[in-house]
């Protein structure tokens, strides 16, 4: 919040909006959070940090060129899908998923266009969802990511390595036992995988970045990662996928969205978020198995699916207190604003 | 109707709502119809009857916990998708599709959560469709069913047998001749397959249950099953799939929806329903062939698809008389209410 | 425009509406354009010309029977999806894609029902999209085409040859060099493929038909075909697919839609259309690779997808000038009507 003075700074404003765009991946409208997240990426691989910046700049600049609503640009809302698309295109076309690879010129142009396209997809999905007071979340990233990833595998001008990353639970051994490090690495990497970082320390740094802006969000994100990981373990998910954070990243995002960002935090919405995190973990496995024959990763599709299915009908459930207007602010403010009276139980 | 006195009964009300939920699978807001349907299931397999009750209770109780609209809960509208999801999860994970198998504890928890999730999906789809005056139909069941079925096949804690049931016309022999029993069994089983019952006698009992509340609905359901079966036979569908009722169950539901439930019964809407039943039969084959490589059953997806595509634009066609308000009541009442004057032709 | 006198002619009106339906495939509400397009089809194969007529008659007559809005019927808007579905069903079930084959009786009934079903799908999608001021485009054709194509491959009564046409870039040799004829044939065939015509001369005749009604549309269509073809070549698309016009037909339609038909023609919307044409070319490859395992052609799905994603959110971008009301007229009129004052930049 103390960084608001850069928002209208003549030369630094664009950097401020872009950093907020990085933060908005995890619902944080805060440029310091964005900066710490970039540091977490750089800790794992400077390539990913650079690509994240390239993606967020492309989609934010496109929004400026098309003269989109300035308030939304300043909040970083046109940036986060571009950042994610950039990361995904590098992650799934590099020989080493963990560090990524510097893209060719053709790939860089492709990536910049994909990130720009998320801006149009974001505006379109926003327009369709507006009457239902639900946000597009990361659906522009998921859809554009899938569409642009497929073609890459067959275009001559882009050298895509074989997909190095297992994308489905079937690809992991079922006999590896769970040990202590499975848990603390799996939970941390769950947060890291939101940004495609196979690095549990980066994950905990990202959690710290979230806490800088909202401790409720950080707590819900951690809770979601734990629920997703535990549910997967109880239901026999393979150790390697659990340790890789694959069962947990959709759950972490779902828990943040339902537990404070789009629903006011009450004990019922916490239960709702726990339920959503469990469902997101099961459905990660489902969607992964569905997509594997065509070689596509799940991305954050189950987070979007579960959150939409649990939010679009929120008006029908009097037990839930919707955040209104539905722009994500820190859950702390949502709580203060809404729970003044009879709506709270 | 004579059972309305149980709707607000202090201890029996919940049972009444749940029975109506069972009836709503075939559009019957009538607890006696629900009871007879449960008997039809028990005739085939007591396991399915019990699972149907478990599913409808889970989704109805979730609606109560979330404080959904009481009128809709009392009409059983929050129950029918839960009942169907429960049945589908057992049907496609049991070694013997015909009788089903008692679920393990892990599977039971999973099934209860899936049924609860249909309540949220129903509210969400209802909110999106409300401006178009079209109901979610069984889409919550189809979507949640697909999503929860996939994961089952790979989770260690749930012992899924090989899918015992052919799910696509390709899986049947093309040389078996049609005989008399193909027809009366195929038409009866078409009604039975709505509830996953491979039993033609159960199918006719379900038809009786529908007739208890609405003879128009029963007639249209029978007509749809006949149209679906005949179209499949004319177009060379294999005898085994016809006898199994696979070509007919989507047609039966489509004919009921278009012929009286959502459109006032006129000679044009009967033609419309016949056309819809034929299309639903063709598209069952299409969707079955599309889904087979990933091992998924069609469920009632073609019923929903055809009915939505024929109802969402109803306002554009002056030849059709929409039922308003669009909540399904018995077609007899719709007819009385709407066709008083110049709208009838 | 000079043909308007046939629109209400007692015996010729239906022919006029149907010809406009043929023209509406490429956004031309002009019966002379429709007639020249039919001639372009007949130049390649009289079978395709006849099937195109059968399709457009079926869907237009269905709209009449259901008493749809007469103004829309007269503009050919209920006809173009039926024409395309008819062509697609013949193209992908004939032994020779290039000339097509005369359908059997069972296939003809099937085709007529599919075309009739597009009328209902068009009304439904139109109702859903109406609040967003975006048209269904050819989505009814794409959806109904996919659904009806699948079943064909398995029904005994319809003799479907092996799909003769490569439907994905992988199916072409990667070593054939680009020559001069690759370019002029590829660009012409791009326009031809909109109507499934593997014939570059037919393509240029269709371009002429468009120019008869709107020179802006013809120019944008040609530009789109060029952009699609060049982008594919730069990114290593195989020569055979480029020469076949497969990379270009979605780009040509996208450029027409964004450059004048649904957005007023300004230098920014021309840039927008160029960007859309490039994305449509990349995504043709993506969707083709996605659909190939299940043997489905892309149809015009990437045109619809890209255009929707770039138009639904148009209200968010002040740099774009929407055409209002959103019914496609000639871009020349849109330009005159809208760019009178301060909105033009």
**Which of C117, C155, C156 has the CB atom closest to B279's CB atom?**
C117
Average pLDDT over residues A327-333: 69
Measured torsion, CA atoms of residues C333, C337, C340, C343, in degrees rounded to the nearest 10: -100
3-state secondary structure of C182: helix
Residue C87 to chain A, least CA–CA distance (Å): 27
Chain C stretch 280-309, residues whose beta carbon is closer than 8 A to a beta carbon of chain A? 282-283, 285-287, 289-290, 293, 305, 308-309
Pair C251, C281: CB distance under 8 Å: yes
Residue C291 to chain A, least CA–CA distance (Å): 9
Neighbours of chain C (3+ CB pairs under 8 A): A, B
- Residue A293: what pLDDT? 77
Residue C342 has pLDDT above 50, yes or no: no
Residue numbers of chain B with a pLDDT score lower than 50:
1-2, 340-345
Is A128 an interface residue toward B (CB < 8 Å)?
no
- What residue in C sits closest to A296 (Cα-Cα)? C290
Q: DSSP label at A158?
A: S
**Which of A106, A122, A294 has the CB atom closest to C235's CB atom?**
A106
Chain C stretch 67-126, residues whose beta carbon is closer than 8 A to a beta carbon of chain B? 67-69, 106, 110, 113, 116-117, 120-126
The overall average pLDDT reported for chain A is 90
Pair A97, A43: CB distance under 8 Å: no
Is C316 an interface residue toward A (CB < 8 Å)?
yes
How many C-beta atoms lie closer than 10 Å to residue A78's C-beta?
A: 31
- CA distance readout (Å), C53 to A238, C15, C73, C91: 57, 10, 15, 15
Q: How far apart are CA A18 and CA A22, in angstroms?
A: 6
Please answer yes or no on whether C67 and B317 come within 8 Å at the CB atom.
yes
B285-298: burial string, b at 16+ Cβ within 10 Å, e else: bbbbbbbbebbbbb
**Which of C293, C305, C308 has the CB atom closest to A294's CB atom?**
C293
Q: How far apart are CA A141 and CA A91, in angstroms?
A: 14
Ranges of H-type helices in chain A: 13-24, 31-44, 46-65, 70-74, 80-91, 105-129, 139-152, 180-193, 200-213, 215-234, 239-243, 249-256, 267-291, 301-311, 331-338
pLDDT, tens digit, for every residue of A257-300? 999 999 999 999 999 999 999 999 999 999 998 888 777 899 99
Backbone angles phi, psi at B322, to 5 degrees: -70, 150
The single residue listed with the structure tokens 């002379």 is C32
Q: How far apart are CA B110 and CA B148, in angstroms?
A: 8
3-state secondary structure of A314: helix
Instruction: Tally A–C CB contacts below 8 A.
Output: 94
Mutation site for A-interface testing, chosen from C313, C314, C342 by largest number of A Cβ within 10 Å: C313
Please answer yes or no on whether C289 and A151 come within 8 Å at the CB atom.
yes
- What residue in C sits closest to B294 (Cα-Cα)? C294
CA angle A142, A145, A146 (to 5 degrees): 85
Contacts of B261 (CB under 8 A, 6+ apart): B27, B217, B323, B328, B331, B334
**Which of B68, B149, B157 has the CB atom closest to A317's CB atom?**
B68
Mutation site for A-interface testing, chosen from C251, C275, C309, C318 by largest number of A Cβ within 10 Å: C309
**Token pair in block for residue C12:** 């010729």
- Residue A158: what pLDDT? 67
Pair B146, B335: CB distance under 8 Å: no
Q: How far apart are CA B23 and CA B74, in angstroms?
A: 12
| ipTM value for the complex | 0.91
Pair C238, C289: CB distance under 8 Å: no
Pair A172, A232: CB distance under 8 Å: no
Average pLDDT over residues C128-143: 95
Residue C129 to chain A, least CA–CA distance (Å): 9
Chain B residues in contact with C68 (beta carbon < 8 A)? 316-318
Q: How far apart are CA B5 and CA A262, in angstroms?
A: 40
Mutation site for B-interface testing, chosen from A170, A305, A317 by largest number of B Cβ within 10 Å: A317
B140-167: burial string, b at 16+ Cβ within 10 Å, e else: bbbbbbbbbbbbbbbbebbebeebebbb
Q: How far apart are CA C320 and CA C139, in angstroms?
A: 24
**Token pair in block for residue A176:** 């590896």
Which segment, B95-109, C16-30, C168-182, is predicted with the most confidence on average? C16-30
The single residue listed with the structure tokens 């869907």 is C59
Mutation site for B-interface testing, chosen from C59, C66, C103 by largest number of B Cβ within 10 Å: C66
Residue C47 to chain B, least CA–CA distance (Å): 23
CA angle A45, A47, A49 (to 5 degrees): 80
Neighbours of chain B (3+ CB pairs under 8 A): A, C
The single residue listed with the structure tokens 């008083």 is B340
Q: How many residues are there in chain A?
A: 345
Q: How far apart are CA A229 and CA A216, in angstroms?
A: 20
Is C203 an interface residue toward A (CB < 8 Å)?
no
Please answer yes or no on whether A123 and C312 come within 8 Å at the CB atom.
yes
Mutation site for C-interface testing, chosen from A59, A66, A71, A125 by largest number of C Cβ within 10 Å: A66
- What residue in B sits closest to C140 (Cα-Cα)? B309
- Residue C327: what pLDDT? 55
How many C-beta atoms lie closer than 10 Å to residue C163's C-beta?
A: 17
pLDDT, tens digit, for every residue of B48-76? 999 999 999 999 999 999 999 999 999 99
Question: Residue A218 half-sphere exposure, CB side, CA atoms within 13 Å?
Answer: 14
**Token pair in block for residue A156:** 């001559």
pTM exceeds 0.90: yes
Q: How far apart are CA C151 and CA B282, in angstroms?
A: 6
Q: How far apart are CA A210 and CA A30, in angstroms?
A: 9
Chain C residues in contact with A66 (beta carbon < 8 A)? 316-320
Please answer yes or no on whether B127 and A315 come within 8 Å at the CB atom.
yes
Residue A128 has pLDDT above 50, yes or no: yes
**Which of A126, A156, A293 has the CB atom closest to C174's CB atom?**
A156
- What residue in B sits closest to A171 (Cα-Cα)? B154
- Cis status, amide bond into B239, omega within 30 of 0: no
Share of chain C above pLDDT 90, in %: 76
Is B156 an interface residue toward A (CB < 8 Å)?
yes
Chain C residues in contact with B305 (beta carbon < 8 A)? 147
Chain A stretch 235-254, residues whose beta carbon is closer than 8 A to a beta carbon of chain B? 235-237
pLDDT, tens digit, for every residue of B167-182? 788 788 878 889 999 9
CA C61 to chain centre: 21
Is C219 an interface residue toward A (CB < 8 Å)?
no
Residue A341 has pLDDT above 80, yes or no: no
- Residue C291: what pLDDT? 85
Please answer yes or no on whether A289 and B121 come within 8 Å at the CB atom.
no
3-state secondary structure of B322: strand
Is A233 an interface residue toward B (CB < 8 Å)?
no
Q: How far apart are CA C194 and CA A318, in angstroms?
A: 50
- CA distance readout (Å), C60 to A181, B161, B306, C69, C74: 66, 50, 19, 11, 9
Average pLDDT over residues C279-289: 93
- The strand ranges marked E within C162-310 are none
Domains and CATH numbers, chain B: 12-152 (1.10.3430.10), 169-338 (1.10.3430.10)
> Which residue, among C88, C53, C96, C132, has the nearest Cα to C249 in the 3D structure?
C88
- Residue C103: what pLDDT? 94
- Residue C341: what pLDDT? 39
Residue C39 has pLDDT above 80, yes or no: yes
């Amino acid at each position: 919040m103390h960084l608001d003075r850069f928002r209208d700074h003549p030369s630094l404003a664009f950097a401020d909006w872009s950093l907020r765009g990085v933060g908005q991946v995890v619902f944080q409208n805060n440029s310091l959070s964005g900066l710490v997240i970039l540091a977490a990426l750089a800790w794992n691989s400077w390539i990913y940090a650079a690509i994240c910046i390239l993606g967020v700049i492309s989609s934010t600049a496109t929004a400026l060129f098309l003269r989109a609503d300035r308030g939304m640009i300043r909040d970083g809302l046109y940036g986060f899908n571009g950042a994610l698309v950039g990361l995904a295109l590098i992650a799934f076309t590099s020989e080493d998923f963990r560090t990524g690879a510097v893209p060719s010129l053709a790939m860089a142009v492709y990536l910049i266009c994909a990130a720009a396209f998320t801006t149009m997809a974001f505006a379109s999905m926003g327009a369709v969802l507006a009457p239902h007071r639900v946000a597009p979340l990361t659906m522009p990233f998921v859809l554009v990511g899938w569409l642009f990833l497929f073609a890459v595998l067959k275009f001559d001008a882009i050298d895509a390595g074989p997909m190095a990353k297992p994308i489905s639970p079937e690809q992991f051994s079922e006999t590896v036992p769970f040990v202590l490090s499975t848990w603390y690495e799996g939970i941390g990497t769950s947060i890291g995988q939101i940004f495609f970082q196979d690095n549990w320390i980066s994950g905990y740094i990202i959690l710290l970045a979230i806490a800088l802006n909202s401790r409720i969000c950080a707590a819900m994100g951690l809770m979601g990662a734990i629920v997703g990981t535990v549910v997967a373990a109880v239901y026999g998910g393979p150790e390697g996928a659990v340790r890789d954070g694959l069962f947990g990243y959709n759950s972490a995002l779902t828990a943040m969205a339902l537990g404070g960002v789009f629903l006011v935090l009450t004990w019922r919405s916490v239960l709702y978020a726990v339920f959503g995190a469990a469902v997101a973990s099961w459905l990660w496995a489902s969607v992964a198995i569905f997509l594997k024959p065509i070689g596509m990763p799940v991305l954050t599709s189950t987070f979007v699916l579960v959150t939409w299915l649990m939010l679009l009908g929120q008006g029908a459930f009097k037990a839930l207190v919707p955040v209104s207007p539905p722009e994500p602010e820190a859950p702390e403010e949502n709580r203060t604003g809404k729970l003044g009276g009879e709506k709270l139980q």
